[in-house]
Amino acid sequence: MQFTEQLQRAEQKYEELTERLQDGSTAADPQRLAALMKEYKQLSPIVDAYRRYTACCAELEALGEMLADPEADADFRAMASEERSALTERQQALEDEIRVLLLPQDEADSRGVIVEIRSGAGGEEAALFAHSLHRMYTMYADRQGWTQTVLNLSETELGGTKEVIFSLSGDRVYSKMKFESGVHRVQRVPETESQGRVHTSTVTVAVLQEVEEVEFELDPNDLRIDVFRSSGAGGQHINKTSSAIRVTHIPTGTVVECQDERSQYKNKDRALSVLRARLFARAQAEQDAQIASERRTQVGTGDRSEKIRTYNFPQSRLTDHRIGFSLYRLEDVMNGDLDPVFDALMTAEQAEKLAAQGNAE
């Protein structure tokens, strides 16, 4: 097999990690334990697949020896030949699985994200769909066991969402949510439409990597911070306390507002977190433009101005235009069952990476 040496090194490293994790001194150092566990989890699926592959190869070799026995009868040969065919297919499938597992991993895949949803063309219907999308991601996050925090929310009088910014953290959040950046188009009959005509509206979604302060430092001299009173639903407190925060990054003109918390300090921390994520994304985009030849595959990133997906309610159809994928289970998707969509997108991304790897070789 092409990657045998690499797999043997991975298995050796995996066994070393297993011993270190069982060492009592490791548990006494939480930071070291977390780092080792992260590496252990990354290697586990690779080593598991490699061990299944070597077991399959051993079975094939044993069958070959049996078939080479001149004293074997015809019935045994027929049965062994059939089993060898099945094992050969399994061996090929395991090789394909291992190739995918050995693809270079995007370090960002393990990060949390900040998601920004904004209503686009379509007025109140767009705002209502923005609300539906936020609900969809919320329900999916619940299924995944991710932690959710609303950072800023601006609603319409009819229950729609002009803008919502929220964070998601948990296991490999960015690896799935990175596919969502772009324009989402909805086709459905609004409740206010008396003649049953289908309207088309759009909502934009931006998914930003959550960035720690130590990874992307903000210069306080570049920031203007304004305090104001929150607006919208929230009772008497809204009109009595100036707790909302607006942070402006002077060099770029980037503005972030947070008013979801009653605490001015919490709103400030969250606003800075969003600002850091936006500026990090901007710096990454500039770097990608400068080094276009080294750009990663783009199936999952989607430009924000690009229409990436259509939600057609009359046909109960979701279509992802980037990979030509359609699913006729729209109600399930809107209730948080996004795995079939994400699985299709991840498979397409892996296929692109494998093709690029093959071309490079």
- pLDDT tens digits, 1-25: 567 888 888 899 989 898 888 888 8
Task: Spell out where the chain has E strands.
Answer: 113-119, 147-155, 161-169, 182-188, 199-209, 223-228, 244-249, 254-258, 307-312, 317-320, 325-327
A 10 A CB-CB count for 320 gives 20
Phi then psi dihedrals of residue 252, to 5 deg: -110, -15
Q: What gap in Å lies between CA 314 and CA 135, rounded to an integer?
A: 20
Choose between 281 and 125: higher pLDDT: 125
| 198: amino acid identity, one letter | V
**Are the C-beta atoms of 238 and 232 separated by less than 8 Å?**
yes
Average the pLDDT over each of 57-61, 135-139, 196-200, 288-292 and give the range with the smallest value.
288-292
- What is the mean predicted confidence (pLDDT) over 161-188? 91
Q: What gap in Å lies between CA 272 and CA 259, rounded to an integer?
A: 13
Does pLDDT of 291 surpass 60? Answer: no
pLDDT bin (cut points 50, 70, 90) of residue 262 is low
pLDDT bin (cut points 50, 70, 90) of residue 141 is very high
pLDDT bin (cut points 50, 70, 90) of residue 357 is low
Q: What gap in Å lies between CA 161 and CA 83, rounded to an integer?
A: 59
Q: What is the CA radius of gyration of the chain?
A: 26
Residue 166 to residues 134, 174, 207, 258: CA-CA distances in angstroms?
Answer: 9, 14, 10, 11
Dihedral over alpha carbons 45, 47, 53, 55 (to 10 degrees): -120
Ranges 243-252, 267-276, 326-335, most confident: 326-335
Q: 128: which 2 tokens?
A: 């209502």
Does pLDDT of 264 surpass 80? Answer: no
pLDDT of residue 301: 39
pLDDT more than 70, % of the chain: 83
pLDDT in tens, 299-346: 443 344 568 999 999 999 999 999 999 999 999 999 999 999 998 998
Nearest to 115 by CA among 173, 201, 158: 173
pLDDT of residue 297: 40
Q: What gap in Å lies between CA 303 and CA 322, rounded to an integer?
A: 11
pLDDT of residue 152: 84
pLDDT bin (cut points 50, 70, 90) of residue 235 is very low
Which residues are CB-neighbours of 153 under 8 A, at least 6 positions away?
Answer: 161, 163, 164, 165, 232, 260
- Cα angle for residues 7, 9, 14 (degrees, 5° grid): 95
pLDDT of residue 212: 63
Q: 284: which 2 tokens?
A: 């990454």
The residue with tokens 């297993």 is 18
